[in-house]
Amino acid sequence: MPRTFTPKVVTANALLEGDVVYLTAHGDWTRDHAEADLIKDEGTAEIRLLEAQAQAHEVVGPYLADATPGARGPEPVHFREAFRTRGPSNYPHGKQEA
């Protein structure tokens, strides 16, 4: 029996700053998980991942991460992804300053 597809977002790290970024529906990158494109189809997810991999001049290590619809937009499902939304953990800067 085929497995059910879980909605995904495409995530990576910005090449120059190293910040966690997410692919939007318009094909640009955002640092806000809630602005990411929530992909509900496996074929579309694979295409969007290929598009992200082709942007090696902007990002490194793109991959698909499980997400779920939320009140403001996609929300992470797994602890690792929720942790990544909060920014670097080595000292307060970036997202952690706010």
Mean pLDDT, each 10-residue run in order, the chain (98 residues): 89 92 96 96 97 97 97 94 77 56
Q: What pLDDT sits at residue 91? A: 55
Q: Is residue 31 part of a domain?
A: yes
Q: What pLDDT sits at residue 44? A: 97
CA 83 from chain center: how many Å? 12
Are the beta carbons of 94 and 87 closer than 8 angstroms?
yes
In the numeric block, the tokens 């082709």 are attached to 54
| DSSP code, position 44 | H
Q: Is residue 94 part of a domain?
A: no
Q: What pLDDT sits at residue 86? A: 83
Q: Is residue 63 part of a domain?
A: yes
pTM, two decimals, is 0.86
Q: Report the distance separating Cα 13 and Cα 21, nearest Å.
A: 6
Range of the domain at 48: 8-88
Q: Is residue 60 part of a domain?
A: yes
Q: Is residue 35 part of a domain?
A: yes
Q: What pLDDT sits at residue 88? A: 62
Number of domains in the chain: 1
